[in-house]
């Protein structure tokens, strides 16, 4: 067994965040009386991505991010909505979404049976992560859950990975980071000298500045890497 510790990202690696987000916005649209269109979601994603980028770069706190993305979204569309209330509703609804990436349960169960130490490493919102871990029944597979909002630092910071490795008493060459986001999961692994797996479900091109150890296009292929 080359690796002992598997460090999984959560959103769009295990949780199907994209589907959960769409379902959440449908409920928000019904409550606040706006139509959820492809164009609206694209504009929200652009606004949201800018806020998360600032958070990952350390220029925006997660508390401010949570409301700012909805404040900017509401202002862009000139909606008459309280951004604080919208954020609360978004988090509450998202916390109960049970959509998973294909084969998540199967892969985690197989890896658990094979004796791997499985960790969750995520920048997601604390309430949303714990809520979905429970409703999807995958919390049982993880030895520890590392959520940036509870740690005071975030991926891709070296400090984040140092805390994780210190907590689980692991050597770097025993760890494998698995995630879908190049800017946080793969970059974080690179900065911390950890091997990584890029889950590239959408078959995107790999920019030259990112060098994951492995690339897979479906979660089940991770089992082949770990044979």
The two structure tokens encoding residue 209: 């500045």
The two structure tokens encoding residue 42: 């694209």
pLDDT of residue 45: 97
Q: Which helix (H) or strand (E) holds 101?
A: none
User: In sequence order, which residues have a C-beta less than 8 Å from that of residue 137 and are 6 or more positions away?
Assistant: 105
217 with 141, same domain: the answer is yes
57 with 136, same domain: the answer is no
* Residue 45, domain CATH: 1.10.150.240
Domain boundary among 56, 79, 94: 94
Portion of the chain with pLDDT greater than 90, in percent: 98
39 with 134, same domain: the answer is no
Output DSSP code: residue 151.
Answer: T
Domain hosting 66: range is 17-94
157 with 219, same domain: the answer is yes
115 with 73, same domain: the answer is no
Q: How confident is the model at residue 1 (pLDDT cuts 50, 70, 90)?
A: confident
221 with 134, same domain: the answer is yes
pLDDT surpasses 90 at 9: yes
pLDDT surpasses 90 at 135: yes
The two structure tokens encoding residue 131: 């809520």
- State the Rg of the chain over Cα: 18
pTM equals 0.94
Listed residue (163, 193, 155, 159) closest to 176, CA to CA? 193
78-105 confidence digits (pLDDT tens): 999 999 999 999 999 999 999 999 999 9
User: In sequence order, which residues have a C-beta less than 8 Å from that of residue 106 and are 6 or more positions away?
Assistant: 220
Number of independent structural domains in the chain: 2
Domain boundary among 94, 114, 144: 94
Q: In terms of C-beta density within 10 A (0-12 exposed, 13-18 middle, 19 or more buried), how is residue 176 classed?
A: buried
Largest CA distance in the chain: 56
Average pLDDT, the chain: 97
pLDDT of residue 210: 98
Beta bridge partners of residue 178, listed in sequence order = 8, 197
Cα distance between residue 29 and residue 24, in whole Å = 9
Three-state secondary-structure class, residue 188: helix
104 with 205, same domain: the answer is yes
67 with 153, same domain: the answer is no
9 with 44, same domain: the answer is no
213 with 118, same domain: the answer is yes
The two structure tokens encoding residue 185: 């999961």
Dihedral sign (CA 173, 111, 222, 166): negative
81 with 107, same domain: the answer is no
24 with 12, same domain: the answer is no
Q: Which helix (H) or strand (E) holds 110?
A: helix 104-113
Domain boundary among 94, 124, 157: 94
Cα distance between residue 197 and residue 40, in whole Å = 32
* Residue 104, domain CATH: 3.40.50.1000
């Amino acid at each position: 067994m080359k690796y002992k510790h598997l460090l999984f990202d959560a959103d769009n690696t295990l949780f199907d965040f994209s589907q959960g987000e769409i379902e959440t916005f449908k409920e928000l649209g019904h409550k606040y009386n706006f139509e959820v269109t492809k164009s609206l979601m694209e504009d929200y994603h652009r606004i949201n991505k800018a806020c998360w980028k600032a958070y990952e770069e350390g220029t925006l706190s997660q508390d401010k991010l949570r409301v700012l993305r909805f404040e900017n979204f509401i202002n862009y569309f000139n909606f008459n909505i309280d951004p604080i209330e919208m954020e609360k509703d978004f988090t509450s609804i998202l916390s109960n979404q049970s959509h998973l990436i294909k084969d998540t349960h199967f892969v985690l169960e197989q890896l658990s049976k094979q004796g791997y130490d499985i960790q969750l490493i995520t920048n997601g919102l604390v309430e949303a992560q714990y809520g979905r871990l429970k409703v999807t029944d995958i919390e049982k597979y993880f030895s520890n859950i590392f959520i940036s909002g509870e740690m005071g630092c975030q991926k891709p910071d070296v400090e984040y990975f140092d805390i994780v490795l210190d907590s689980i008493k692991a050597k770097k060459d025993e760890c494998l980071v698995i995630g879908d986001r190049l800017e946080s999961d793969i970059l974080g692994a690179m900065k911390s000298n950890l091997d990584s797996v890029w889950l590239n479900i959408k078959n995107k091109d790999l920019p030259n500045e990112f060098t994951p150890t492995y690339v897979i296009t479906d979660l089940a292929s991770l089992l082949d890497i770990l044979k």
